[in-house]
Structure 1
Amino acid sequence: MTHATPHWTVDNHFAQLGADFSSPVQPTPLKNPKLIHANAELGARLGLSKADLHSDQWRAILAGNAPLPGGAPVAAIYGGHQFGHWAGQLGDGRAILLGQLRAPDGQSWDLQLKGAGMTPYSRFADGRAVIRSSVREYLAGEALHHLGIPTTRALSLITADDEIHRETFERAAVICRVAPSHVRFGNFEWFYSQNQPAQLRALADYVIHHFYPELTNAPDRYHDWLRQVSARSARLIAHWQAVGFCHGVMNTDNMSILGLTLDYGPYGFMDAFDAAHICNHSDHNGRYAWHQQPGIGHWNCARLVQACSALLSDEPPQQVQRAQAILDHYAEVYSATMRALWLAKFGLRGDGAEDDAATEVMNGFLTLMQQNHADFTLSFRALAQVSCAENSPAPRALSDHFFDSAALGVWLQSYQALLRAEGQDDAVRAQAMNRVNPRIVLRNYLAQQVIEDVEAGNSAALTRLLDALSTPYSDDPALDAFAQVPPPEAARISVSCSS
């Protein structure tokens, strides 16, 4: 088969770093690949039309059955701390970077196939992915993107006839992940662990040149870069907390150097609020529980800064001092971002004389939610319906989530008094709150319904859910089915690192 000259440009700047950073590898073809879904909106941003994405040529490229013209496929090497312990060499065990596609606006984007076969870093695994994990990652990227949270995304979802053995035999699938870069903390940790300062510095220069270009000629560029990475990570995790998102496996090799949500495995959005919620049933000690995520983000940044400490100074005492300042900045950024997000969720200003009162009211509501097992998403959404008028009752949309109506009533009086003290207008406040408190999030039971649909050869449920996730703040009654607490049978759903 011959093709016309490509109308796109492929950069291979990561591959050009050389053999110390990645290994050339070709995807392993799939049997009878079928395009289940193509992300037309993302494709357009990359300069690919719907016709491109649905063409035989691109279906073969996205399945790993044909090369990307001009591409130089590689798998990256990296290390990482997994569940708090150094794991040594890891690397792209089932991900293959085809190259960087240059979009019409000049930005380059990684096209990375996940599930495209074995690489030198597969560690005795098959390098494949199955439908359930691929569908979950495809959905998650879109869900967070439309919530305004930085994330990798997926361009396509392809299934095939190949059978993959996990707990049982499942059908193979592959997604094409898209991000400016998939470089992670673990890339730097690897060179630090191998005492290869030249490679570590080269990687830092590469990341700064391509993704932090404003720092390229800065006199203290490594310090400024690490400070920005830590700040981006802090803001990312604050936004996770604000929507009840749990990553599930916050290992350092799953932390993006760009502050993106990276590597979706056993993630989950909380249903009933529990500050100690664990979304990954493999996380037996709760290391990555919801309330632990901010501290783990700080710990992970400390591992990155430690790996890059020689870039900060030639003198060990100064390295320590400057590293601590960067980590202190993480804490400052997280606290400020989280405070602003919580105030917005409650529709409060929290300034001046009302600042302490706002803290007490917000903490009181979270305590009440935990005691009543109230739904995180829908409880916050319902707060917008509260009237600040004295002695106004709780709206039904709120009270339905609390079995202790007396405790809710006491709290509500404090909340309403604070709203009045701040001079809040109910209509204006409601509009603002509904812009930050989603009605629709990617609940596990919704994802499971789609997985079963795709496994049966039907993509209709996937399309419907993606459409709903694209408007998470909508009050459209047509989307009511996606804005419900999970049914009782959803309790059986669990996710682990194999998901």
Structure 2
Amino acid sequence: MIAFDNSYSRLPERFYRPAKPAAAAQPQLIRYNEALADQLGIALDAGGEARLAQIFSGQILPVGAEPIAMAYSGHQFGHFNPQLGDGRALLLGEVIDREGRRRDIQLKGAGPTAFSRNGDGLAALGPVLREYIVSEAMAALGIPTTRALAAVLTGEPVIRETVLPGAVFTRVAASHIRVGTFQYFAARGDTDGVKTLADHVIARHYPEVAIAENPYAALLSAISTRQAELIARWLSIGFIHGVMNTDNMAVSGETIDFGPCAFLDEYDPKKVFSSIDQRGRYAYANQPGIGQWNIARLAECLLPLLDEDEEKAVAVANGVLSGFGDIFQAAWLAAFRAKLGLAGEDDSDRALISDFLDLMHQGEADFTLAFRALGKVAGGAEEALLATQFANANGLTDWLVRWRGRLDDGRSAAAIQARMDAVNPALIARNHRIEEAIQAANYGDHSFFHRLTEALQSPFAEAFDVADLCQPPKAEERVTRTFCGT
């Protein structure tokens, strides 16, 4: 049983289009997230894996499901597309989870919709597994994110550059409302639509702003704050989203759409993985600026609601936008202080953090393993353990002297290491391992996908049986280009 309560489909019809899942010849369950299903209050025990495959491929619609494709627009690599929408996804409906939170359940790759723009609306197995792996890895790292409920083979081929196995991914989100959803109505001059959507978002995600003197300004500020803090969290784990278009920014503050995303191996602030990001717009270090740019596009949509006087509305919006950088910097500093084991605040911290990142860049140090090794040094290990992570460790000894001086605050070495190990993962979803899982699955072997997915649920633990998954790629294993799921 899935107890649906579908608020979005109760909005005006121009917000969405009815959708119908495509037929799937022989759906087969790959993985079902039972722990998440329990959180959602979903009980689908009868019928076993065969029935789960039927449900999560869209062949059986549970009672109360109302499949719809949501309308939205978006800036894609800075260029505005007035009509995008769910071209290969449909929202089955919403549930209230065990904590009283409203959650969307969406099928991705379930066939064409009114927004498919001549596409087939299908998904190949690779992008489905990538999103399953990375979204669950992000959740285990404590990063706000959409979640993976199920992955199902359809038994139907998908034609891309080659013929690939087709699959459907079931995504769970606080909502699928994006900056681009607001842009859809603003681009049409539909101020009433913008207001209706804003009121829905306030009621669903930010009820506390309803009592503000200017609720819509407070809404803009709340969304901006969540995005600034989210992006700071991304940078703290070396995550590159890869396609930060406005249609890929959820107003709930969750990470959404894991297409050409990746985690850093060696630290490089200009690193890009996306095959379509030719100019590095969405490079690792550019993500905060792009986040603020996206919030500016949201502010443009909300101007008619901020004040009847356009000049006053612009001033309100600019006030929110000017605060984005300060919020991001505070969140970034807090995250990296924790990564370095620093307690309290000191004016020298920014330079200490930045200098370590510069040393990592110059020394081609692995982002994840360098911070993990630094924790061991804090706990009493030899400094050489950290130096081995650097191809060139020039300047590291002098930096460690400064760092130790800042750490000297009376805490025990064990306590400092424990603090660092709690925020510096030993295991991340490395790109070459994701590719290994996808390639094996394309030939019918899902065992490595299951192993990797399960291991990533404990990213801060070190265990012998996952030691191989913690290592960066060898030269011949490197994966430098990632692709959009379409």
**TM-score interval w.r.t. the shorter chain?**
over 0.9
Partners in 2 of 1:394 and 1:107 — Cα distance? 46
For 2:23 and 2:184, the matched residues in 1 are separated by 30
Structure 1 residue identity aligned to 2:361 = Q
2:240 matches 1:258: no
Give yes or no for contact 2:2–2:63 (8 Å, CA) kept in 1. Answer: no
Aligned residue runs from structure 1 range 379-418, under 5 A: 379-387=370-378, 393-396=382-385, 398-418=386-406
Task: Name 2:458's counterpart in structure 1.
Answer: 471
Q: Give 1:30 shift.
A: 1.1
Report the alpha carbon displacement of residue 483 of structure 1 after superposing the two structures with TM: 1.0
Measure how far apart 1:404 and its partner are.
2.5
Q: Does residue 65 of structure 2 align to residue 74 of structure 1?
A: no
Which of 140, 156, 162 does residue 162 from structure 1 map onto?
A: 156
C-alpha distance in 1 between matches for 2:393 and 2:327:
37
Q: Which residue of 2 aligns with 1:438?
A: 425
The reply on whether 1:376 has 2:364 as its aligned counterpart is no
Letter in 2 for 1:9: A
- Does the residue aligned with 1:9 lie in a helix, a strand or coil? coil
Secondary structure, counterpart of 2:459 in structure 1: coil
Match of 1:426 in 2: 413
Within 2, Cα distance between the matches of 1:485 and 1:35?
Answer: 31
> Mind listing any 5+ residue stretches in structure 1 that lack a counterpart?
1-6
Give 2:15's aligned residue: 21
Cα deviation for residue 119 of structure 1 reads: 0.5
Question: How far apart are residue 95 of structure 1 and its match?
Answer: 0.5
Shift of 1:410: 2.5
C-alpha distance 490-50 of structure 1, shift in aligned 2 (>3 A): farther
| Residue of 343, 346, 352 corresponding to 1:349 | 343
On the 8 A contact 1:152/1:262 being kept in 2, the answer is: yes
Identical positions, percent: 37
Rounded to whole Å, the distance in 1 between the matches of 2:211 and 2:428 is 42
Question: Which AA in structure 1 matches 2:399?
Answer: W
Question: C-alpha distance in 1, partners of 2:55/2:44?
Answer: 15
Residues in 1 aligned to 2:44 and 2:453: alpha-carbon distance in whole angstroms: 17
Instruction: Write the mapping of 1:479-490 to structure 2, written as runs, cut at 5 A.
Output: 479-490=466-477
1:447-458 alignment to 2 at 5 Å? 447-458=434-445
Counterpart CA distance in 1 for 2:411 and 2:47 is 49
- Selected match of 1:268 from 251, 262, 265: 262
Kindly report the root-mean-square deviation, in angstroms, between the aligned alpha carbons of the 2 structures: 1.8
Query: Which residue pairs with 2:120 in the alignment?
Result: 126
Match of 1:83 among 72, 77, 89: 77
In the alignment, residue 457 of structure 2 is paired with which amino acid?
Answer: S
Corresponding residue of 1:359: 350
Q: Deviations over 1:3-53 (max 9, x none)?
A: xxxx43211211111221000011112110100000111011011247369
| Residues 329, 158 of structure 1: alpha-carbon distance in 2 compared, 3 angstrom cutoff | same
The DSSP-based 3-state class of the residue aligned with 2:347 is helix
Pair 489,54 (structure 1): closer, same or farther in 2 beyond 3 Å: farther
Query: What's the CA shift for 1:107?
Result: 2.8
Partner residue of 2:290 out of 296, 303, 315: 296
In 2, Cα distance between equivalents of 1:50 and 1:423: 53
How far 1:276 sits from its partner (Å)? 0.4
Q: Is the 8 A contact 1:53 1:59 kept in 2?
A: no
Using a 3 Å threshold, how does the CA distance of structure 1 residues 454 and 388 change in structure 2: closer, same or farther? Answer: closer
Local SS of the residue matching 2:395: helix
Distance 1:85 1:65, change over 3 A: same
Q: Report the 3-state secondary structure (helix = DSSP H, G, I; strand = E; otherwise coil) of the residue aligned with 2:14.
A: coil
Q: 2:303: which partner in 1?
A: 309
Q: 1:220 to 1:442 in 2, by over 3 A?
A: same
Pair 393,101 (structure 1): closer, same or farther in 2 beyond 3 Å = closer
Which deviates further from its counterpart, 203-212 or 97-106?
A: 97-106
